[in-house]
Structure 1
């Protein structure tokens, strides 16, 4: 039972600093004091789950040797997993154009790799797969894979189920729903739509911290990293851009979120070719 006291527990300044330092160290998240109310609201359920009386006790758990699991819950609670299908349509238009330019090579046995970095519930990766499937009925026979990663293991587990409730189907047309999703099943009073096997087999979902090692041995034609770096400070972003450059195909594209930019892109080997769209500078 949730008590009134548990609902009213506040995030004290020392605990805020401890949580902010840990979040930055673990995932590059930058927390500001102006967001204290939001942070305490998102973390109160973790105190209840652990039967803790205050945030000081919670910080003790977080910083203990046994706190690794709780640190994952912390990052999950602090990151906002809001998305919908075909968000920022201009990126999918550029993806389609790039795919069309490579279609003859793909038909001849070439490969194409796409990375959804910070994939949230998976709508971005599924949208990319549907975009390409719309271009040709041969998609299942091509060497084309989409890697979708996120630091939050909870959303990765959800994305792997490949089933979306009606409330998360925003952006999917009736025609797409008929073609790329199976018949809905009723769950808890809401329709859930399964992603078709054709689309599912194109995507691999993995948990990955962008600030940690990247077990990647290929170059990507397209990297989506949208509404992710907005959580990072400038120093963290500047460490990330060269790493993206290293794994991006020389003719590839990097897509950022609508409020994100690479400051001085030339410094990191990129040029801006459209709204939140970057490509490597010609060698």
Structure 2
């Protein structure tokens, strides 16, 4: 290794490396001390790494899952990723994912931020596991209309207000259903100032937390009896494999037009792409291909999922 440079340059590399890594001097301070330019110091530090004078080791604190997170960030060009352990015993996948989302939100949430919340089983578990060390002057807002009484206990009004209460912030509500009976009614409601203003606030969210849904009989709109089995089959036949915010996409992440596009009250998939922190919280066997499709569509720049799903998303066949 030493033969790649002359002995004088090698000595300079060692000296600069010691001053920088052992003595804690800045590159500017080293340049002044040695009477060279900062560019020269930068070059010598890089050369010290190339020659093996300096070895850089990264000690990841979270083991295998940390590596999975990094690989997901690289593979799908994400801003961040969180991989939670696969649930064991009686713990549900929803609670495990919510715990990961709550931890991520606690680290990311700052005063003045607006957090948009979608509708779903996973998001409904957030208030069970979320907390902050001190009150944060933030706002939790709704990005889709409300669930019905058939929601099985995950009505978003309670989630939004509870999250705001837990953070010490405030809540903003979208006083409209998540789905209406006709395109004409949707158009009329979207023109209502209180609703249009609420949706505009939602689009200005700094963070949006949302899950994705499957196109089967566990779909929220079907569970809520908002769509019939025949309509569900129609969506399946359109090529859709999943949805976010009531808007559907195919296996390649491309948006699929359905009759629901003119019925849903809420922000859309293109809106998600513009959010600084667009967070997908989803995992489990039945969601794997839906998550994969959503990642291909680049609707989200943060993924919170479980280890088994992460390995699926990173497998060579994908």
The reply to whether TM is greater than 0.5 is: no
TM-score with structure 2 setting the length:
0.22
TM-score with structure 1 setting the length:
0.24
**Rg: which structure is higher?**
2
- The structure whose residues are more often strand, as a share, is 1
